[in-house]
Structure 1
């Protein structure tokens, strides 16, 4: 069966498609990093050796193997080889605390743990708590060397039968603060993403976010399944990204908003030949209309912003190059996606009113691994019994059906009984000529319960005092919205995919005592 025929099926698996790609385009590069390049034939053979070694080590269909390492060709091949064995992949963030990594490893039930020296060094104090067999992807002493661990060349794994609702991967929602939740995404969910056809054969995709992130996987997986080439960056650097894009004639990229901003800020941006680009994507964090407009103006190819969750549910897409008047939105629901807004009592709100975003589609998590209570909290059922996933985001649909996000529900500030949306204040801060970026959080107040405080990063070469900026904003907003304090900071704390960590700002606030 040809690749084209497989991709028309209602369900197939990623390893099946790659096997057929290896027959149709054996010599085409599929995985590229700074050290080595792997062809489709080479990837298919390596996946077989990985899967056979996993089965040799007792990893059966529906078991789990974990990966925690820097992005590399070996990482990409291992992720795919685990799938060929019928096991689910638990990709873990190296930035997690050692205690969180141990918790995630044990929670996932991983039988084999692929890592590198950097992760092994971080885990030195808790290594005795790791039950899984350790394999070092970088050939270090972090575990059994990858090349030694592999099954012999030519080895073939025992065939496995994979069901649509079987776990494809378990992505943990947090590894730095709080208790991580394992989001179980099924094969059917990933198959739907692969079949979108956004990354056609011959695509060259820049992969500059970590492979343990769902943001990356929704770009990486369709690229390698559909006959493209993935150029892997171990760590994002704006200059290196531009150089690699030019060198490899990149056609596609998935970037988070902060990466776009850093790229567009480079004074030499216009000197790079980016004419090969067909489409660029963004997701995971708020994307300022100003940066979107700059990308559309100066970077060849289209721009699409996706809004959704790792848990799945409903997603929206903003085809920015077709709707330059809607850059303040995250677009309209994708085909087959049902997005609704509900109030605090779980009732749908009328069009034009603000509510929590809930969504439903063919791409939905099975649930949180070993946490049925948390799974139930994340679900909302419509009056006719349809299952939706709650996002925790607050938004509003306009008259054209475009969704404007306000804030995370948990980030909304209730001050003296009034709802204050941090995004409104951040939008006003963005109009000050000295402000590069900002984040507004609610902090405790004896008088109001909560009150807004802003954290501001200044533009390079610009100067302004905190009092000047605060007076500027407070003169433009309503009395109940006024900032109680403003702190100038060098940077804002961010997650590995660029989300501002507002919890860190709230917890670390050491400003004035607020009455």
Structure 2
């Protein structure tokens, strides 16, 4: 694309690419800040040139269009440049979580088919002891690997169904699966954000680039021509300092991050008046926390509910609908949510069922896993493809979706279906409990039985046995916890999800006595 083009008009087209949008921004606003981290920053003109150099180097090194380009890194300008440069080469960006084990990281790289992987210095040992059939490039020495200044890649035609990126599931419930998202899906994410004000945004990002949570704000900001500020690692006070320094207008945070920020004693001392649009996703967002954010943090608060795999998304404008904070909102325009029973039949209005959804933003499938893709699919009586969200919920009388639990987390004990969230809600209300979760573990007597884990509240005097007895008094007979264990903290993924499988494995290994 050689001539400057009106961005709004381009985004109104049925299809386009992010790489082309960035080229236009480089022509129209060359000196505007595109991406910054805690030590580096690039303008749109600089970003555009770096993307060309990455793409040209990838092509020269033999990376083909449609082939994955992996990175294992904390968020940085360099990782973002590699991600975006891969797109310009017609390749598929595959950011991988550094918190995985070396064997898991090597497995994900092999699964992606990447022939080059980029590591930052902090994760230089990510592949220690692993035999990976890929060229390893250190992001800290990226300049030495790049094609020369002024290099231009061979143009590549990109089709809507082509892979844009692969995101590997967090592995909280099993082996990570590669979720292939297409250019068409990402174009939907870019073009539908017409009212979010991303063209003038300064978006502060405190989650990793391997998470869809991050990309749904990172990509629209760059697509519309705003500025992105990346945090290497989240820390609540540093987040507020950066927000004030950059006059942040937009952010996407997960609930545990909101919780830690709002808990700072000096939160109200920071000038956050520049904020216009705050969003949240990825984990349960407690109504009382939403209420606190709405009351004390300027700007709109919107909670999104959806999946990395796509399907349907719901949105709750928490600022406007303060009587619906126990819900995740209504389906977005063009998104369809249905509720089905265990036999795949739709449930009557008002009843609880498994959530399935469809929209214009849906994954191609799980990379190399046809059966897993089929298992995640529900075909409606009309023959339409829906994606199973793995959650259970119901609609209220106003069409707002209320989540009740994760279907995968459901415990079947003595033939009864037990939802951990019901137990967690009671456990969380105990004055001695600061954080908690419930998992199902094997039981000879019942098949499965619920077991609780909690972090004690500072200054609490009640012991674990007392908490267990008082909580069980409030639970139904089939819901009662068979055991309760105290922990210093609950293990969480980088986007705030409790790693229940890790707790279960640690319990089996005898760590909790």
Query: TM-score normalised by the shorter chain: which range applies?
Result: over 0.9
Distance 1:315 1:177, change over 3 A: closer
Q: What is the DSSP-based 3-state SS (H/G/I as helix, E as strand, rest coil) of the residue aligned with 1:41?
A: helix
- Of the three residues 326, 330, 333, the one matched with 1:332 is 330
1:489 aligns with 2:487: yes
| Equivalent residue number for residue 37 of structure 2 | 33
Trace 1:224-243 onto structure 2 (pairs within 5 A).
224-243=222-241
Displacement after TM superposition at 1:106 (Å): 1.5
Displacement after TM superposition at 1:179 (Å): 2.6
- Of the three residues 313, 321, 334, the one matched with 1:315 is 313
Displacement after TM superposition at 1:220 (Å): 0.4
Question: Matches of 1:61 and 1:509 in 2, distance apart?
Answer: 45
| Equivalent residue number for residue 295 of structure 2 | 297
Displacement after TM superposition at 1:312 (Å): 0.5
Displacement after TM superposition at 1:450 (Å): 2.0
Moved more, 373-382 or 102-111: 102-111
* TM-score computed with the length of structure 2 as normaliser: 0.95
1:6 aligns with 2:21: no
Q: CA RMSD in A?
A: 1.5
**1:245-295 CA distance string (max 9 Å, x none):** 001000111001111111111111111000111011111111111111111
| Equivalent residue number for residue 402 of structure 2 | 404
Distance 1:103 1:275, change over 3 A: same
Trace 1:440-479 onto structure 2 (pairs within 5 A).
440-479=438-477
Trace 1:2-401 onto structure 2 (pairs within 5 A).
2-126=6-130, 129-139=131-141, 146-174=142-170, 178-195=174-191, 196-197=193-194, 198-401=196-399
**1:458-513 CA distance string (max 9 Å, x none):** 2223332112222222222222222222112111111121100111222322699x
Displacement after TM superposition at 1:201 (Å): 1.2
- Of the three residues 494, 498, 501, the one matched with 1:500 is 498
Displacement after TM superposition at 1:35 (Å): 1.2
Q: How many residues get paired?
A: 504
Question: Matches of 1:411 and 1:60 in 2, distance apart?
Answer: 40
Contact 1:96 / 1:175 at 8 angstroms: preserved in 2? no
Question: Matches of 2:307 and 2:388 in 1, distance apart?
Answer: 9
Q: What is the DSSP-based 3-state SS (H/G/I as helix, E as strand, rest coil) of the residue aligned with 2:298?
A: coil
Question: Matches of 1:257 and 1:432 in 2, distance apart?
Answer: 20
Question: Matches of 1:62 and 1:444 in 2, distance apart?
Answer: 43
Contact 2:10 / 2:16 at 8 angstroms: preserved in 1? yes
Question: Matches of 2:506 and 2:108 in 1, distance apart?
Answer: 26
Distance 1:439 1:406, change over 3 A: same
Distance 1:300 1:401, change over 3 A: same
Displacement after TM superposition at 1:177 (Å): 7.4
Question: Matches of 1:411 and 1:449 in 2, distance apart?
Answer: 14
Question: Matches of 2:238 and 2:324 in 1, distance apart?
Answer: 31
Q: What is the DSSP-based 3-state SS (H/G/I as helix, E as strand, rest coil) of the residue aligned with 1:86?
A: coil
Question: Matches of 2:313 and 2:419 in 1, distance apart?
Answer: 22
Q: Where does structure 1 lack aligned partners over 5 or more consecutive residues?
A: 140-145
Contact 1:304 / 1:319 at 8 angstroms: preserved in 2? yes
Displacement after TM superposition at 1:71 (Å): 1.1
Contact 1:206 / 1:250 at 8 angstroms: preserved in 2? yes
Moved more, 503-512 or 53-62: 503-512
Q: What is the DSSP-based 3-state SS (H/G/I as helix, E as strand, rest coil) of the residue aligned with 1:392?
A: strand
**1:224-251 CA distance string (max 9 Å, x none):** 1111111110000001000000010001
**1:146-185 CA distance string (max 9 Å, x none):** 1111111111111111000100001111468743211100
Question: Matches of 1:64 and 1:443 in 2, distance apart?
Answer: 38
| Equivalent residue number for residue 143 of structure 1 | none
Question: Matches of 2:461 and 2:47 in 1, distance apart?
Answer: 53
**1:433-468 CA distance string (max 9 Å, x none):** 222121011222333222222111122233321122
Moved more, 202-211 or 483-492: 483-492
Distance 1:408 1:232, change over 3 A: same
